């Protein structure tokens, strides 16, 4: 059985905590005990594991316990004009609902992964899985009930497994779908959002707001605990098949069951497919490259819109890794 290394308590913050989680995750990748449905049932007595849509042997421990990566449940914001911490090209999730515009910096989401918020009177879960670079926003009203989400500390196909605090059902973040428990098979509604640079969001919404840490000393915000991850040859904590004809860690822009390589979009600048219009512009850093997110390599900004009678309208999309799209959309198409 894998045991966590002895680490002085004073180090269980910042990079010490991140290193501990990553060390634990590395060990679990080779330990079958960490893919143990019987153990999950003992750890989660309120979850109805008689209802599942997956093989629970596919679920691995990522290292942290339940809520060991704490969601932000009472988010705090400042006006765009008051923010001083963010570099111009740092990535944020930009969200606007009913005239309420908010930016969620990846420098914060990397350490919390879920923000339970209400934007423009709509309850939402703003989520980010660093190991998949999956930045997705969902409505969090489930079957008429406003629901709050937390982290299980588990991964499937390297992707965050969330849980809801009402029924303790498990949810796959990439799909927004219940995979174990009472709400198995229930789908969350995706909300259009942009993974964009801070300067792009600020230019679009100068009267908007930006998320700030509730406790600035809790984590080394602005630092990347996964240094060099998106340049690795192989993904982390992933045992599935790999996509053909494209590097597993290559970024792709995914819209439902169709994806386009970021390299293709960067080369062309604009791609049209049916009524979809995808565009790429420079000016956004990777959150998974250098230790300082603000110094990451150029990734660029992606916008995905649909042609409509009123013009171009934003649609939900994800800039993720090719292996992730392949794992969850095995019948999908990656265009290169």
Q: What is the pLDDT of residue 13?
A: 36
**In angstroms, rounded to a whole number, what is the distance separating the alpha carbons of residues 102 and 66?**
28
Domain-located, residue 263: yes
What pairs with residue 335 in β-bridges?
260
Q: Does residue 70 lie within any of the structural domains?
A: no
* The pTM of the whole model exceeds 0.75: yes
Angle at 113 between CA 157 and CA 105, to 5 degrees: 125
pLDDT at 80: 98
Query: CA-to-CA distance for 115 and 52, rounded, in angstroms?
Result: 25
Domain of residue 314: give its range: 229-335
Across the beta sheet with 270-273, the strand order is: 270-273, 276-281, 301-308, 311-314
Determine, yes or no, domain membership for 52. no
Interacting residues of 197 by C-beta distance below 8 A, sequence separation 6+? 88, 89, 90, 91, 92, 283, 284, 285, 301
Computed on alpha carbons and rounded to an integer, the radius of gyration of the chain in Å comes to 19
Q: Looking at the domain assignment, is residue 198 inside a domain?
A: no
Per-residue pLDDT, 36: 77
Beta strand 170-172 pairing with 159-164:
antiparallel
Return the exposure string of 144-165: e unless at least 16 CB atoms fall within 10 Å of the residue's CB, then b: eeebebbbbbbbbbbbbbbbbe
Q: Tell whether 215 is covered by a domain.
A: no
CB contact at 8 A, 236 and 252: no
41, two tokens: 């049932």
Element (H, E) at 258: strand 258-261
pLDDT at residue 14, rounded to an integer: 38
CA atoms within 13 A on the CB side of 253: 30
pLDDT value at position 35?
67
Tens-of-pLDDT digits for all 336 residues of the chain? 223 333 222 233 333 344 444 434 433 343 443 667 888 889 999 999 999 999 999 999 988 999 999 999 999 999 999 999 999 999 999 999 999 999 999 999 999 999 999 999 999 999 999 999 999 999 999 999 999 999 999 999 999 999 999 999 999 999 999 999 999 999 999 999 999 999 999 999 999 999 999 999 999 999 999 999 999 999 988 989 999 999 999 999 999 999 999 999 999 999 999 999 999 999 999 999 999 999 999 999 999 999 999 999 999 999 999 999 999 999 999 999
Look up residue 214 and give its DSSP letter: S
- Say what the pLDDT of residue 34 is: 61
Contact indicator for 224, 291 with CB cutoff of 8 Å:
yes
- Measured in degrees and rounded to the nearest 5, phi and psi for residue 56 equal -65, -15
Q: Pick the closest to residue 288 from 329, 256, 252, 251 (CA basis).
A: 251
The predicted pLDDT at position 65 comes to 92
Task: Note whether residue 147 is domain-resident.
Answer: no
Total number of domains constituting the chain:
1
Residue 299 within any structural domain of the chain: yes
For residue 296, being part of any structural domain is answered with yes
């Amino acid at each position: 059985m894998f045991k966590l290394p002895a680490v002085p308590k004073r180090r269980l913050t910042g990079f010490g905590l991140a290193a501990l989680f990553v060390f634990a995750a590395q060990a679990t990748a080779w330990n079958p005990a960490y893919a143990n449905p019987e153990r999950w049932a003992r750890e989660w007595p309120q979850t109805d594991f008689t209802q599942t849509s997956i093989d629970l042997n596919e679920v691995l421990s990522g290292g942290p316990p339940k809520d060991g990566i704490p969601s932000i449940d009472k988010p705090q914001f400042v006006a765009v004009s008051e923010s001083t911490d963010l570099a111009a090209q740092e990535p944020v999730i930009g969200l606007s609902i009913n005239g309420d515009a908010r930016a969620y910096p990846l420098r914060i989401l990397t350490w919390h992964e879920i923000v339970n918020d209400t934007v423009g009177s709509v309850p939402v879960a703003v989520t980010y899985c660093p190991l998949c670079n999956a930045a997705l926003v969902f409505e969090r009203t489930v079957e008429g009930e406003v629901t709050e989400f937390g982290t299980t500390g588990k991964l499937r196909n390297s992707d965050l497994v969330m849980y809801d605090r009402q029924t303790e059902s498990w949810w796959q973040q990439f799909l927004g779908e219940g995979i174990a428990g009472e709400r198995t098979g229930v789908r969350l509604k995706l909300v259009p959002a942009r993974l964009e640079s801070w300067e792009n969001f600020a230019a679009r919404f100068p009267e908007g707001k930006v998320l700030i840490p509730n406790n600035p000393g809790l984590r080394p915000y602005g630092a990347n605990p996964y240094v060099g991850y998106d340049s690795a040859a192989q993904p982390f904590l992933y045992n599935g098949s790999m996509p053909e004809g494209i590097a597993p860690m290559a970024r792709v822009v995914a819209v439902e069951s169709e994806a386009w390589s970021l390299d293709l979009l960067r080369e062309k600048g604009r791609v049209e497919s049916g009524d979809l219009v995808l565009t790429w512009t420079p000016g956004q850093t990777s959150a998974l490259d250098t230790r300082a997110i603000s110094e990451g390599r150029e990734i660029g900004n992606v916008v995905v819109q649909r042609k409509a009678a009123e013009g171009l309208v934003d649609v939900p999309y994800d800039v993720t890794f090719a292996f992730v799209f392949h794992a969850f959309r095995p019948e999908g198409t990656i265009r290169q």
